[in-house]
Amino acid sequence: MEASSGSSCRSRELEARNYLKKHRIMELLNYLTSSLLFFQPDKPREYLVSLLERLRIAKITGVAFPVFMDHSNIVAMFEMMDTSKKGTISFVQYREALNTLGLCTPDEVFKDDGHGITLDKFRNEV
């Protein structure tokens, strides 16, 4: 009986993982959390509801979801990662920033050329 319950549990876990992947739930939660932390609104629940509503409308209408980051936001994000003020960030930081912003998928392959990522490159990619 114990082996049966163990395989049933693994089956449910696999089913749950497949569901989350199919509906891109983790990407959505990551985007919502990142956006919430980036903008830090006074009323976070209302902000999240508004953000979800805008996503829903964008999906229904087929209109691209508006991007809320302007030049100053991108520069601020880069500067937060460039703590030593070298003018570059690591490839790992760059990759994580793109992933956090929902601009790539976790399984997407990028080539690390061994050089730091400059603000210009970061700005162009984001």
Task: Tell me the pLDDT tens digit for each residue of 29-87.
Answer: 888 888 888 888 899 999 899 888 888 877 777 666 655 566 777 888 889 899 999 99
Q: Which residue has the higher pLDDT, 89 or 68?
A: 89
With beta carbons less than 8 A apart as the criterion, state whether 68 and 35 touch: yes
By three-state DSSP, how is residue 69 classified? coil
**Can you give the pTM of this predicted structure?**
0.47
User: Is 121 a residue whose pLDDT tops 80?
Assistant: yes
The DSSP bridge pattern shows strands 117-118 and 88-89 to be: antiparallel
